[in-house]
Structures are given as structure tokens and as C-alpha cells.
Amino acid sequence: MTIGIVSTGVYIPDNVMTAEEIAALSKLPLHVVKDKMGITQKAIPGPDDHTVAMGIRAAEKALQKGNIDPKTIDLVIYIGEEHKEYPLWTAAIKMQEELGAYHAWGFDVALRCGTTIMAIKVAKSLMEADATINTVLLAGGYRNSDFIDYTNERTRFMFNLGAGGAAMILKKDHTENIILETDMMTDGSFSEDVVVPVGGTKEPLTTNHLEKGLYRLDVLDPEGMKTRLEQKSMQNFLKVIRHALMKSGYAEPNIDYLAILHMKKSAHDFVLQELGLTSEQTTYLSDYGHIGQMDQIISLELAQKEGKLKDGDLAVLVSAGIGYAWGAVAVKWGR
């Protein structure tokens, strides 16, 4: 049995925040924002760019591109963020209704920026285990940029957070863009390093919190997190790539394209160097910023437009999510 990608869809808001604007708000030198953080500009949400709404727009594009009747979808998996139109809400069911996927059922999954890779693994496993699941839609949106305080130096590494939506349609016995094997890692020692410290059951949201600007992402132990990340992050990032390749019967020299999340330029270049890849074998998302778990799908679409993917290529999608989670999946591209 093969599970293949039928089509993808991406929605990017029209509004952007430029490197100059980020520099002005954060009081950082412009060259730091552009050259070190790797941000030329990033997409930010407009008044109608709600999280699930952006996922629906992306899903509509994927359905149209793949010539898929929504009534043939068996399962909808929401891969967007917890920050969405309503704080307590099952988004997949809303997507099912809006898209006309009347014969499907749906649920939400979340693993921060590792969600798409994890959801691909979950979807493939469900399709292999259940004869009634033949077509699966993964879709969601992201706008965690709402939680960024550009005056907070502790969250500087998240100044690249943007907004957008993405979708992917998987189908059983589809002989193109075949999903191979996935590798995932999580490390709970980072689980409370990056949080929105108020608004949950431990510290219910108050007017005072809002006035003090506490309803924002923050880093509770910046020095401890930095030390632990330096010890583990890049090692684990490369480890999941190599394990996904090994489980799929391949090795690093076989990689033709790397669909990688946006990260600071030095880290991006380090990964390419370690894997023996060139800049032509990936896409650096400096004009988009980091749109969370949508980055891998965005990268795939850009690669197709730029002619970086051809039939028979081996693509690897890789992510890292705060918490911390690392994941990679290998895809045999084209026919």
C-alpha cells in the first residue's frame, strides 16, 4: 500500500511586516534582523485572517488543484495552532462543514511547529489501519505572531513568527509523491520554557494581566533553555532527518530537496553544510518568516514553482517545535 500527496494549498495574507519595521519596534540594528535573523519581511494577519479561516482558504486551493470532490474526503485533521477564533473549539469540524466534506469525520492535533510532520505520520498510520479511510485532508492556520512583544529580548528568536494557512491532501494507493517513513523526537525538559504565562488555569486572565502586557509569549528560564538547546537542538534536528532517511532505505547523499522551517540564517546554513546540501536544494523563507507548522508545505509549493523538485527526487520535510519536538518525513516526489 502506498500513501501519496495528491495536492497542497497555501494561503498567505497580503499584509506584511518588513525588516525595517521589526528593527524599529525591537530597537535592533537592521542588519541583525536581515542578516542574522534572516527576515526580509514576514506575513502578518489582516482583519479577516483568522487561524481556521486561513486553513480553510488553503484547503480550498488544495481541493481545486487536486480536483478532489470534498464529499470523497474521509477524514479532516486540523494541523493549525491552538490560538484560533475561539479558545475552546474543535476546528476540524468547522473545516469539515465549510468545505462540504459531509462524509468525513475530523479531529485536531497539536505539536507546535512539529504538527504537520506528526499529522502526516498519524494520517498514514490511520489509512494503513482502517480500510474505510482512503482520503485525508490536513489543513490549518497560524498567527502566533499575535503573541510577540518586540520589546522583550527574551523572545527575540521568535520575532520571525508570521501568519498563513496551508493544506495537504493524502490518498491511499496514490502513486505520486509517496510518503515514506517519519521520525519524531520530543524532550520534556523544555516543556515550560516558552509559554504564554497567563490565561490558563494556573493564572486565569485578568484585566491587570492585559494592562501589563503579560498575555504574550515569554521565556521563563532563558539561560537554562539556551544551555540545553545548545546541547541538544541541532543534534536532534539532524538525528530525525537521518533516522527518517534510514527507515526509508536512504541516506544523506540521496536528499534532493529539504523542506525546512524558517530559522536564523546561521542555523539554516549549518544544517545544509552537515547534510552536504546546497542552497539550491532548499528554500530559505526570508520573505515569509516562520509560519509555524505551515513552513514545510509552503517550502514544497515554492520548490515546485521554482523547478527545484522533479519526478523521482527524494524530499525531506523537517521541523522543530517549542516544547521541544523534532520531526522529519521522507517523500519520494513525483511519479
d(CA 106, CA 305): 31
Could you tell me the end-to-end alpha-carbon distance of the chain, in angstroms, rounded to an integer? 15
Residue 283: CB partners within 8 Å, gap ≥ 6? Answer: 259, 299, 302, 303, 306, 308
d(CA 245, CA 189): 26
| 78 CB-side CA count, 13 A | 28
* pTM for the structure as a whole: 0.96
Name the grid cell of 235: 543534534
Question: Tens-of-pLDDT digits for all 335 residues of the chain?
Answer: 899 999 999 999 999 999 999 999 999 999 999 999 999 999 999 999 999 999 999 999 999 999 999 999 999 999 999 999 999 999 999 999 999 999 999 999 999 999 999 999 999 999 999 999 999 999 999 999 999 999 999 999 999 999 999 999 999 999 999 999 999 999 998 899 999 999 999 999 999 999 999 999 999 888 888 888 777 888 999 999 999 999 999 999 999 999 999 999 999 999 999 999 999 999 999 999 999 999 999 999 999 999 999 999 999 999 999 889 999 999 999 98
d(CA 253, CA 215): 45
Whether the upstream peptide bond of residue 324 has omega within 30° of 0, thus cis, is yes
Name the grid cell of 283: 528554500
Q: Taking a C-beta distance cutoff of 8 angstroms, is the pair 35, 265 a contact?
A: yes
d(CA 286, CA 41): 7
